[in-house]
Amino acid sequence: MISLHTSPLDQPGTGDAGGMNVYVIELARRLARQGVAVDIFTRATSSRLPAVVEAGDGILVRHVAAGPFEGLDKHELPGQLCTFAREVLRAEVLHPVGHYDVVHSHYWLSGQVGALARDRWNVPLVHSMHTMAKVKNAALALGDNPEPAARVIGEEQVVQAADRLIANTALEADQLVSLYGAEPDRIDVVPPGVDLRVFSRRDQAGVRRELGLPEDAAVLLFAGRIQPLKAPDVLLRAVAVLLERDPSLRSRIVVPVVGGPSGSGRDHPESLAVLASALGLDDVVRFVPPVNQVELARWYSAATLVAVPSHNESFGLVAVEAQACGTPVVAAAVGGLTTVVRDGVSGLLVDTHEPGDWAEALRRIVVDDSLRARLAAGAVEQASRFAWERTAELTLQSYERARSTMRMEVSL
């Protein structure tokens, strides 16, 4: 596997680390349990990192030195592709010919390197986009920066070079065809999963005591990277409208924001706190640094609902994790969230990003105990459909298709 711009060992929720990090390491773990040895190549971001880290039985994370260890922005990484690719290609020289059977690249930068490895090693390339520039630019958040033309061109090249493309949802598969000209018969739809042992229902009252939350609170949780794309501002503005409409809720509302700045949000890391103050929400909003998965599951379980107001999501891992904990989700009706969340069954989908519309969706769950209980039960059932074991099985099938139909004439 190639995950150039972000390591599966990084803490999700800040910087460039997010759902893709979880995807790569969880998929690798399930593949390893089925007897597949996995090497993950990622760019070293510190001189203190060992060259190779054993991340589990059968899983090696290889830190590749390419460019400055620290301070390199994601948009500067294309300049390091040649160096990174050279070091990846050198790794195979240490093994007998045919050591690797498949290259699975994650995100377009990795796909560029994967295409070179494909041709050099004569093995198929399977590629997961995770996000797509054309989709993101079509639904750009206010204050966010559009993806550059170089990324668009790079994605088009990778789509053409890959032997198989893995899409998270049927919608993403359609977008690959309509926006990038991908051949439908080279696309496999493989939903990501959730670790149902980590993300499961807990005693809410007990978890709230542990986290210092009032047992009778209405806890409206945001979890993820703080950047315009994820739209945490939509939740804060909606809460302000909700409290304006019903001031009696103020004594109960708590809004934890679990995560750190990322993307263009790093330019103004204090902007969300400034917005909370401007909206008069300092007494209800709590900022919590990124936490590990076990701790995150406790926050999900403590929440009355989890808000996912993103402007675009290829899948929506936060929504699945929250539902697995029995917590209803209020999500924007965009991208993979329309697949992950069953409207009126496991949560509520909101067609707009207007604060008033979001305030009404939040209010419905906060004040209606029977609706909340019904959605909580539906959330657990919905999340049970997504398991990493199933993701691994379908991914292995995609690998085998790639091996049997590898096209010899394609290269970047």
Are the CB atoms for 155 and 176 separated by under 8 Å?
no
Residue 74 is labelled as binding a ligand? yes
> Are the C-beta atoms of residues 299 and 258 closer than 8 Å to each other?
yes
CB-based burial label for 179 (10 Å; 0-12, 13-18, 19+)? middle
Q: Is 17 labelled as part of a ligand binding site?
A: yes
263 within 8 A of 144, measured Cβ to Cβ? yes
Q: How far apart are CA 22 and CA 233, in angstroms?
A: 24
The reported pLDDT for the residue numbered 97 is 82
Which token pair is 118?
């494909």
What average pLDDT does this structure show over 346-371? 98
pLDDT-derived band at 15, boundaries 50, 70, 90 = low
Each domain of the chain, given as residue ranges in start order, spans 19-193+388-405, 204-384
Residue 301 pLDDT exceeds 60: yes
Band of pLDDT at residue 14, cut at 50, 70 and 90: low
Give the Å distances, CA to CA, from 14 to 7, 78, 113, 186, 336. 12, 21, 25, 33, 21
Rounded Cα–Cα distance for residues 375 and 360 (Å): 16
Is 8 marked as binding a ligand? no
**172 annotated ligand binder:** no
Q: How far apart are CA 228 and CA 61, in angstroms?
A: 31
Task: Give the pLDDT of residue 262.
Answer: 55
Is the pLDDT at 74 greater than 80? The verdict is no
pLDDT in tens, 21-66: 899 999 999 999 999 999 999 999 888 999 999 999 999 999 999 9
CB 226 within 8 A of CB 259: yes
pLDDT tens digits along 175-192:
999 999 999 999 999 999
pLDDT of res. 123 = 96
Check pLDDT > 60 for residue 266.
no
With residue 347 as reference, give the H or E element that holds it.
strand 347-350
Work out the angle between the directed axes of helices 369-383 and 317-324 (0-180°, nearest 10): 110
Does residue 409 surpass a pLDDT of 90?
Answer: no
Residue 206 has pLDDT above 60, yes or no: yes
- Known binder of ligand: residue 291? yes
* pLDDT attached to residue 265: 42
327 is in an annotated binding site: yes
Residues of the chain above pLDDT 70, percent? 95
Question: Which strands, in side-by-side order, build the sheet including 59-64?
Answer: 38-43, 59-64, 52-56
Quote the pLDDT of residue 267.
Answer: 39
Query: Does the pLDDT value for residue 73 go beyond 80?
Result: no
State pTM to two decimals. 0.89
* Strand stretches in 111-252, DSSP E: 125-128, 164-167, 187-189, 218-223
Q: What is the mean pLDDT of residues 223-240?
A: 94
8 A C-beta contact, residue 355 and residue 362: no
Q: What is the pLDDT of residue 13?
A: 60
Domains 19-193+388-405 and 204-384 share a fold: yes
What count of other Cβ atoms lies within 10 Å of the Cβ of residue 316?
A: 29
Annotated ligand binding at 134? The verdict is no
Give the DSSP letter string of 301-330: HH-SEEEE--S--SS-HHHHHHHHTT--EE
Stretch 223-241: mean pLDDT: 94
- The pLDDT tens digits of the residues spanning 147-170 come to 999 999 999 999 999 999 999 999
Identity of residue 359: A
Structure tokens at 310: 């993103």
Q: What pLDDT was estimated at residue 180?
A: 98
The verdict on whether residue 217 carries a ligand-binding annotation is no
How far is residue 42's CA from residue 40's CA, in Å, rounded to a whole number?
6
> 332: alpha, beta or left, given left = phi > 0 and alpha = psi -120 to 50?
beta
Assign 268 a pLDDT band (cuts: 50, 70, 90): very low
Out of 13-22, 89-98, 229-238, 258-267, pick the least confident.
258-267
Q: Is 162 helix (H, G, I), strand (E, B) or coil?
A: coil
Superfamily the domain 204-384 falls into = Glycogen Phosphorylase B; (3.40.50.2000)
What residues contact 144, with CB distance under 8 A and at least 6 apart? 227, 228, 229, 263, 264, 311
The top-level CATH class assigned to 19-193+388-405 is alpha beta
Distance CA 372, CA 222 (A): 18
Instruction: Express each pLDDT in 92-111 by its tens digit.
Output: 888 888 899 999 999 999 99
Overall size of the chain counted in residues: 412
CA distance 334 to 313: 7
Nearest to 272 by CA among 363, 389, 186, 143: 143
Strands 59-64 and 52-56: antiparallel
Q: Which one, of 355, 265, 248, 269, lies nearest residue 307 by Cα? A: 355
Do strands 103-106 and 38-43 pair parallel, antiparallel, or not at all (unpaired)? unpaired
Lowest mean pLDDT among 67-71, 105-109, 353-357, 380-384: 67-71
Token representation of residue 191:
């939903």
Across the strands, what pairs with 217? Answer: none
Tens of pLDDT, residue by residue over 109-131, are 999 999 999 999 999 999 999 99
Q: What angle do CA 403, 406, 407 make, to 5 degrees?
A: 175
132 is in an annotated binding site: no
Average pLDDT, the chain: 92
**Predicted local confidence at residue 406, as pLDDT:** 87
At 91 the pLDDT is 86
**58 annotated ligand-binding residue:** no
Tell whether 6 is in a known binding site.
Answer: no
Of 224, 155, 166, 159, the C-alpha closest to 192 is: 166
Whose structure tokens read 């929506």? Answer: 316
State residue 366's pLDDT score. 98
User: 131: annotated binding-site residue?
Assistant: yes
The more confidently predicted of residues 23 and 263 is 23
Confirm or deny that 100 is annotated as ligand binding: no
Residue type, 58: G
Is 23 marked as binding a ligand?
A: no
